[in-house]
Amino acid sequence: MVDLAANAATRFAALSALFDAPTRRRLTALGLRRGWRCLEVGAGGGSVARWLSGRVGSSGCVVATDIETRFLDTIDRPNVEVLHHDVTSDPLPQARFNLAHTRMLLVHLREPDEVVRRLAAALKPGGWLVCEEFDGASTLADVDAAPGEVTMKTHAAMQRLRQDRGGDPRYGRRLLARFRSLGLTDLGAEAHLTNDQPQPPMATLLRASYELRRAAMIDAGYITPDEYDMDVARMDSPDFMMPSPTMWTVWGRRP
């Protein structure tokens, strides 16, 4: 039985270690400053919301939302509002925010394009939308390039399960076209990719993600218990390497 709270804490800590620094650099480069009203959707462990709180100061505010707020309820700051909120169905205010940000949210949703539209509508004119999402299907291991690289059946099974549940494992790569279709301006996109080894945070993130979905992948017949155990053990090998999913960061401005 997976300890869901512990698993979530592990994943959030790994995401923070991997991506908080580039997230902060990008939002800073877009002009984030005191007084801004910020919307953080799918706020997860709350590391970005806490940082935004310090940047916008007492004259600004941060609305941090998630369908599970246990890790957000510990944020005790007067300029942070935590909302239990399902962005796929619950209303969002219109034309209210200087910044709306998501990270590792849209890739899990059945209708991410509609959610992106709703996020854009929540921006004030001139406000920025920044979405950071994995493309988990475009980069494959290549033993000719590096003999240590491996393609794990467990990873392919996780992507297949995500598709079964209506998610799009390549949505990060589709973001720029979606932003353009909404008429956002000052568009930009950049990608972050690593080659994973046994200990860094990306391997920790992937291992926790596999653990969370182990029973479902086995029940679906996509892997066997032995195949799963073999893949996880392989991640501890000193010569293990696997290209990480590509994290796309895409930004655009409401005219």
Q: What is the pLDDT of residue 148?
A: 61
Total Cβ atoms within 10 A of residue 193:
14
DSSP state of 33: -
pLDDT in tens, 12-55: 999 999 999 999 999 999 999 999 999 999 999 999 999 999 99
pLDDT at 199 over 70: no
Contact 131, 175 (CB under 8 A): yes
How many alpha carbons fall within 13 Å on the CB side of residue 32?
Answer: 25
pTM of the predicted structure, to 2 decimals: 0.92
What domains does the chain contain, in order, with CATH numbers? 4-253 (3.40.50.150)
Nearest to 251 by CA among 184, 173, 182, 154: 184
Residue 144 burial by Cβ neighbours in a 10 Å radius (0-12, 13-18, 19+)? exposed
pLDDT at 200 over 90: no
Nearest to 209 by CA among 142, 162, 148: 162
User: Rg for the chain (alpha carbons), in Å?
Assistant: 19
Banded pLDDT at 206 (limits 50, 70, 90): confident
Contact 182, 116 (CB under 8 A): yes
pLDDT in tens, 229-245: 998 888 888 877 777 88
Banded pLDDT at 169 (limits 50, 70, 90): confident
